[in-house]
Amino acid sequence: MKRIYVNEQVCMGCHLCEVHCQLKHSQSSDMIKAFKGEDGRPLPRLRIEERKPVFFSLRCQHCDEPACVYACLTGALRKDPQTGIVTVDENKCVGCWTCALVCRFGAVVPDKNHHRMVKCDLCPGEDVPVCVANCPNEALIYAEIEQPSPVKV
């Protein structure tokens, strides 16, 4: 499957990926409304990791062996056998954060207001996820790369 990879050496931590992710997952898809009008700013499904001068943008890696899916207490997390995308059913998630306890990337984003997790969905309907498409420095790469050694659970 195609995944999002980073090129840390050219990431300057501008947070544009985050802004576009928020916009994409907002109700209105309107930048001003999404950030100033909607009931609670939409959450980005990625986060910027930094240890200056190191920056990179991090989100769910849709692991081949998804520890979060196996650990999920409610069955809210699934890995689509066809696309490989790991999805969360936000109506089933109760926010126990067991997924966070097993995610080696620390990629789980808790939505504490609604007490459920949100995650990268690789932007359904888009050819290229919006974080990648809007990265000014090509610090994000959307590509199908055979994983040299799939992460074992």
Partner 1 sequence: MADNIDKVKYLIIGNSAGGIGAAEAIREVDKTGSIAIVSDEPYPAYSRPLISKYLAEKCSLERMLYRPADFYEKNNIKALLGRKIARLDVDAHLVEMADGEKLGWQKLLVSTGGLPIIPPTKGIKSEGVFSFLTLDDAKAIDQYLKHASRVVVIGGGLIGVSVTEGLVKRGVDITIIEMKERILNVMLDEEASAMADKAVRKAGVKIVTNHTVAEISGEGGVSSVTLNDGTAIPCDMVVVAIGVVPRVELASGKLKTNRGIVVDRFMATSSPDVYACGDVAEAYDFIYGMNRVTPVWPNAYMGGRVAGFNMAGVSTEYRGGTAMNSLSYFGLDVASAGMVMPLDAGYEVLSARYGNIYRKVLLKDGFVVGMVFVGETEKSGIAYNLMKDQVKVDGFKKALIAREFGLASLPDELWRPRIEAPRREFVPPVAVKEPGEEVAVE
User: Which parts of this chain interact with partner 1 (CB under 8 A)?
Assistant: 2, 5-8, 47, 49-51, 54-56, 58, 61, 67, 70-71, 73-75, 91-92, 94-106, 108-110, 115, 138, 141, 143-146, 148, 151-153
CB of 26 to partner 1, least distance (A): 21
CB of 29 to partner 1, least distance (A): 25
Structure tokens at 51: 């240890």
Q: CB-wise, 33 or 105, nearer to partner 1?
A: 105
Q: What is the DSSP letter of 6?
A: E
CB of 35 to partner 1, least distance (A): 22
The count of residues in the chain is 153
Residue 57 parent element (H or E): strand 54-58
Q: CB-wise, 5 or 35, nearer to partner 1?
A: 5
Q: CB-wise, 34 or 132, nearer to partner 1?
A: 132
CB of 30 to partner 1, least distance (A): 28
Give yes or no for a contact between 94 and 112, defined as CB atoms under 8 angstroms apart.
no
Q: Cα 41 vs. chain centroid, distance in angstroms?
A: 16
Q: CB-wise, 31 or 94, nearer to partner 1?
A: 94
What is the spatial distance between Cα 53 and Cα 75, in angstroms, rounded to a whole number? 39
Residue 32 parent element (H or E): helix 31-32
